[in-house]
C-alpha cells in the first residue's frame, strides 16, 4: 500500500479532479492525498455518507460509555494508511492553524482527553475530505478549464504567457489540466488573463 501511494503521489491530480482537489485540504500533502484517494477508490460517489467514509478510514467513534460517563474508544478497523494520513494532517494543523488549536481547546474544555480530542479532530478532517471528494470543483481558485478558455479566447499560447510571467511552461499546463494547484502561479495567471480580457474589451468598445 505504501509503495502504491508513493507511486501515485506525483500525479495525484492527473486522473480525476477529486484527487487533485485533495491537495486543497489544509495540511494535506501529496502522499496523504494519495492514501486518501486509494481508500476512497475511483468512485467515491458510491460512498453514501461522510459517516461511511469515516468508517472506511477507521475514525468513526465506537461507544465505550459507562454509567454517566460518555466515552468512545479507539477504532482499530478501517484503512490504517488512510487513518495515518488523517493523523498526519491533524498534526500538521495543530502546529499552527488557529482554527484547529481553537477546536482542540474547545474539545478539551468539554472534558475530552487529548487523545479523544485528536480522534474528534480526525473525524472532522475526514468529513472535510469526504466533502472534497464528492464536490471536487468547490475550489478556492479558478478552475483550469476556465483559465484555458480565457487564454484561447485571447489567442495566446501557454509559451507566450509563461515567458510573460517568468514561470516554466509546464506549470501552466498542469494548472490548466488541474493536475496541481500551484496556487500562487494560478492566482498570477488568473490576474494576468483578466487584465488582458479587460484591456481587450476596452479596445473593442473604443
- 36 CB neighbour count, 10 Å cutoff: 31
Strand, coil or helix: 69? strand
Please provide the average confidence, as pLDDT, over all residues in the chain: 80
Asked whether the predicted pLDDT for residue 10 surpasses 50, the reply is: no
Strand, coil or helix: 53? helix
Domain boundary assignment for the chain:
2-134, 144-205
> In which band, very low, low, confident or very high, does the pLDDT at 138 lie, cut at 50, 70 and 90?
low
- Mean of pLDDT values over 84-98: 92
pLDDT at 91: 95
- 133 CB neighbour count, 10 Å cutoff: 24
- Phi and psi dihedrals of 57, rounded to 5? -85, 0
- Phi and psi dihedrals of 181, rounded to 5? -65, -50
pLDDT at 202: 52
pLDDT at 71: 54
CA dihedral 117, 122, 126, 127 (to 10 degrees): 20
Asked whether the predicted pLDDT for residue 14 surpasses 80, the reply is: no
Q: What is the pLDDT of residues 43-88, one digit of tens each?
A: 778 888 888 999 999 998 765 555 555 555 556 678 899 999 999 9
Amino acid at each position: 500500500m505504501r509503495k502504491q501511494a508513493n507511486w501515485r503521489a506525483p500525479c495525484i491530480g492527473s486522473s480525476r479532479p477529486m484527487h487533485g482537489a485533495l491537495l486543497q485540504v489544509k495540511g494535506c500533502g501529496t502522499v496523504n492525498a494519495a492514501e486518501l484517494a486509494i481508500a476512497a477508490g475511483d468512485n467515491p460517489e458510491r460512498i453514501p455518507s461522510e459517516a461511511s467514509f469515516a468508517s472506511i478510514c477507521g475514525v468513526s467513534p465506537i461507544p465505550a460509555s459507562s454509567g454517566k460517563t460518555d466515552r468512545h474508544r479507539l477504532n482499530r478497523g478501517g484503512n490504517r494508511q488512510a487513518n495515518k494520513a488523517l493523523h498526519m494532517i491533524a498534526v500538521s494543523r495543530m502546529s499552527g492553524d488557529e482554527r484547529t488549536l481553537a477546536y482542540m481547546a474547545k474539545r478539551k474544555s468539554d472534558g475530552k482527553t487529548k487523545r479523544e480530542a485528536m480522534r474528534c479532530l480526525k473525524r472532522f478532517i475526514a468529513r472535510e475530505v469526504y466533502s472534497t471528494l464528492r464536490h471536487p470543483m468547490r475550489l478556492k481558485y479558478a478552475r483550469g478549464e476556465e483559465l484555458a478558455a480565457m487564454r484561447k479566447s485571447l489567442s495566446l499560447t501557454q509559451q507566450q504567457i509563461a515567458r510573460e510571467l517568468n514561470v516554466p511552461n509546464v506549470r501552466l499546463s498542469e494548472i490548466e489540466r488541474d493536475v496541481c494547484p500551484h496556487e500562487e502561479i494560478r492566482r498570477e495567471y488568473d490576474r494576468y488573463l483578466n487584465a488582458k480580457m479587460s484591456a481587450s474589451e476596452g479596445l473593442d468598445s473604443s
